[in-house]
C-alpha cells in the first residue's frame, strides 16, 4: 500500500521546491531510494506538465568508481553529466544509502581529483531549479537515536512542514543581516569576530534543500579573527570529524585540530580557498533539534549556526573559490553550552533563541 506521506513529499518537491512548469525537463537523480517515491515524483512531474528523466545510483558502486577512476575518466564523465544537465530545467537529487562512511577509504588524492571535476556539474545545476533531499534509512534512524518508526514520522514532519510560513518569518532576519557590518559569536571555546557588510543574506525556506531552514551569507573574506570550537560531529568525505577547533587570523585558518588532525588539515590544504570561510548561516528548523551526522539536517538545527570553510555561493559571494565546501555546525542551546550572537553590538540571539521582537516568529514554538 502506498504511504500517503510519499505523495505529499513528492508534491512539495515538484510543486513547491522546483515549481515544475509545463514543458520542463526534470532530472531525478537518486542514490539508493525506494522506488515508491521515485514513481510518485514521476507522477507529480507529469501532472505538472513536465518530463521526467531518472538516474539511479548505488553508493558501493560509486565508491568503486572513485577508487578506480582516472583523470581522463572523470573528465569524460563530467562532460557527459554537464551535457545532460544543460538540457534540464529542474533537478531533484535524493540520496539514501546504508552507510554514510562508504567512501571513507577512498584516498585523499583520489577524492580531490574527482571533486575537482564534479564541481563543474554542480555549477551548471546551480543555474537550474533544483532541490536536494536526504532519504530516510535505518542507519539514519540509528544516528538520530530513534526507532525506525519514530524516525520516519520525524522525517516527514521535517520535510513536509509549512515552508511558506517559514519563508515569511525569515524576511526580517534577512533584512537585519543585510544592514549588519560586525558579527561577534561567543560560546564555550569560541570567541569569533568578522564582517558581513555588503554581502546579501539568502533565506532558505525549502526551495533548494529539503529539509531546509537557514538564512545564509558570507563573511568578508579576510575579516574573520578568533577561535571556534564546534560541538557537533561533522561528516565529510566519508569520515566523521569531532571536536573540530579552528583558529583564524585575517580570514585564514592558521591552526586546525580534531579527532583526526592530519586528515582535517589534508582537506583544508586542498587549495588556498579551503582555509577561508565561504558561508555563515543561522539554522532555524523547529523540528530538527539534535545532530544526526547528516549535514542536510544538522545545518538546519534549531538554535544553531554553521561556518563553512571553502567555496562561497554566488548568491552571497565573498570571492572565495575552492573545491571544498564544508558546513561545520555549532549548536548554541543551553544543553549544548549556550552562546551568543551579536550584530553591530546588539545581542540578537542568546542560547539559541532570537531576542528581537521582529525575529521572534523564527523561534521554534512559532514556526511549528
- Interval 258-274: pLDDT, tens: 999 999 999 999 999 99
Q: pLDDT higher for 278 or 65?
A: 278
Instruction: Indicate the DSSP class of residue 364.
Output: H
Residues 6+ apart with CB under 8 A from 358: 172, 176
Given a cut of 70, whether residue 211 has pLDDT beyond it is yes
Q: Whose CA is closest to 245, among 297, 205, 203, 192?
A: 192
* Residue showing cell 522546483: 18
- 248 falls in which pLDDT band (50, 70, 90)? very high
Share of the chain above pLDDT 70, in %: 99
What cell was used for 83? 551535457
Of the listed ranges 31-40, 41-50, 224-233, the least confidently predicted one is 31-40
Contact assessment for residue 26 and residue 88, using Cβ atoms and an 8 Å cutoff: yes
pLDDT of residue 42: 98
Of the listed ranges 28-32, 94-98, 179-183, 239-243, the least confidently predicted one is 94-98
Of the listed ranges 58-67, 292-301, 320-329, the least confidently predicted one is 58-67
Given a cut of 90, whether residue 342 has pLDDT beyond it is yes
The mean per-residue pLDDT over the stretch 341-360 comes to: 98
Of the listed ranges 75-84, 132-141, 298-307, 327-336, the least confidently predicted one is 132-141
SS3 label, residue 151: helix
- The residue count for the chain: 368
Rounded Cα–Cα distance for residues 55 and 37 (Å): 14
Q: pLDDT higher for 247 or 121?
A: 247
What cell was used for 93? 537529487
Check residue 68 and give left, alpha or beta (phi > 0: left; psi -120 to 50: alpha): alpha
Cross-strand pairs, 307:
280, 328
pLDDT of residue 110: 87
CA-to-CA separations, 336 to 7, 255, 331, in angstroms, rounded: 36, 24, 6
* Residue showing cell 539508493: 32
* Residue showing cell 539568502: 202
**Tens digit of each residue's pLDDT (9 = 90 or more) over 107-153:** 888 888 888 888 888 888 888 999 999 888 777 888 788 888 888 89
In this structure, the number of other CB atoms found within 10 A of the CB of residue 37 comes to 22
Given a cut of 80, whether residue 189 has pLDDT beyond it is yes
Rounded Cα–Cα distance for residues 161 and 337 (Å): 28
Q: What is the mean pLDDT of the chain?
A: 93
pLDDT of residue 124: 87
pLDDT of residue 113: 86
- 100 falls in which pLDDT band (50, 70, 90)? low
In 259-327, the DSSP E strands lie at 277-283, 304-309
Cross-strand pairs, 56:
30
**C-alpha 226, offset from chain centre:** 24
Residues 6+ apart with CB under 8 A from 108: 237, 263, 266, 267
**Burial status of residue 142 (CB atoms within 10 A of its CB: 0-12, 13-18, 19 or more):** middle
In the chain, % helix, strand, coil (3-state, to 5) comes to: 40, 25, 35
pLDDT of residue 14: 96
Q: Whose CA is closest to 341, among 191, 231, 209?
A: 191
Rounded Cα–Cα distance for residues 149 and 132 (Å): 23
Which domains does the chain show, CATH number per domain? 4-160 (3.40.1830.10), 163-366 (no CATH)
pLDDT of residue 56: 93
Given a cut of 80, whether residue 99 has pLDDT beyond it is no
Contact assessment for residue 64 and residue 104, using Cβ atoms and an 8 Å cutoff: no
Q: Is the pTM of this model over 0.85?
A: no
Contact assessment for residue 158 and residue 136, using Cβ atoms and an 8 Å cutoff: no
Q: Whose CA is closest to 19, among 212, 207, 214, 210?
A: 207
Of the listed ranges 88-97, 137-146, 163-172, 234-243, the least confidently predicted one is 137-146
In this structure, the dihedral spanned by the alpha carbons of residues 136, 327, 193 and 253, taken in order and rounded to 10 degrees, is 150
Residues 6+ apart with CB under 8 A from 109: none
In this structure, the number of other CB atoms found within 10 A of the CB of residue 29 comes to 22
What cell was used for 244? 573540530
Cross-strand pairs, 130:
91
Amino acid at each position: 500500500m502506498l504511504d500517503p506521506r510519499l505523495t505529499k513529499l513528492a508534491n512539495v518537491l515538484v510543486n513547491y521546491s522546483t515549481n515544475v512548469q509545463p514543458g520542463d525537463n526534470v532530472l531525478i537523480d537518486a542514490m539508493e531510494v525506494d522506488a515508491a517515491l521515485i514513481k510518485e515524483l514521476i507522477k507529480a512531474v507529469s501532472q505538472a506538465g513536465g518530463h521526467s528523466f531518472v538516474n539511479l545510483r548505488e553508493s558501493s558502486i560509486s565508491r568503486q568508481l572513485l577508487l578506480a577512476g582516472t583523470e581522463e575518466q572523470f573528465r569524460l564523465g563530467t562532460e557527459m553529466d554537464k551535457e545532460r544537465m544543460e538540457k534540464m530545467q529542474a533537478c531533484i537529487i535524493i540520496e539514501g544509502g546504508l552507510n554514510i562512511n562508504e567512501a571513507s577509504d577512498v584516498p585523499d588524492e583520489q577524492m580531490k581529483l574527482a571533486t575537482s571535476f564534479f564541481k563543474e556539474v554542480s555549477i551548471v545545476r546551480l543555474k537550474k531549479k533544483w532541490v536536494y533531499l536526504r532519504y530516510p534509512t535505518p542507519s539514519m534512524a540509528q544516528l538520530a537515536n530513534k526507532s525506525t518508526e519514530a524516525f520516519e514520522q520525524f522525517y516527514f514532519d521535517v520535510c513536509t512542514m509549512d515552508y511558506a510560513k517559514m519563508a515569511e518569518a525569515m524576511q526580517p532576519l534577512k533584512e537585519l543581516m543585510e544592514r549588519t557590518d560586525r558579527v561577534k559569536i561567543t560560546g564555550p571555546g569560541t570567541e569569533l569576530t568578522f564582517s558581513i557588510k555588503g554581502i546579501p543574506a539568502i533565506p532558505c525556506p525549502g526551495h533548494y534543500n529539503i529539509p531546509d531552514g537557514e538564512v545564509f551569507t558570507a563573511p568578508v573574506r579576510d575579516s574573520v579573527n578568533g577561535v571556534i570550537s564546534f560541538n557537533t560531529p561533522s561528516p565529510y568525505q566519508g569520515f566523521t570529524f569531532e571536536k573540530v577547533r579552528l583558529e583564524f587570523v585575517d580570514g585564514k585558518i592558521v591552526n586546525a585540530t580534531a579527532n583526526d588532525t592530519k586528515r582535517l588539515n589534508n582537506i583544508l590544504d586542498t587549495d588556498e580557498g579551503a582555509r577561508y570561510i565561504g558561508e555563515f548561516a543561522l539554522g532555524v528548523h523547529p523540528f530538527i533539534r539534535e545532530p544526526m551526522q547528516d549535514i542536510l539536517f544538522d545545518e538546519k538545527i534549531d538554535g544553531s549556526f554553521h561556518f563553512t570553510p571553502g567555496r562561497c555561493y554566488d548568491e552571497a559571494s565573498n570571492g572565495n573559490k575552492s573545491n571544498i565546501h564544508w558546513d561545520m555546525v555549532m549548536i548554541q542551546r543551553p544543553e549544548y553550552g549556550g552562546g551568543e550572537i551579536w550584530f553591530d553590538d546588539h545581542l540578537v540571539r542568546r542560547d539559541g533563541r532570537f531576542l528581537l521582537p521582529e525575529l521572534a516568529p523564527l523561534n521554534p514554538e512559532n514556526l511549528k
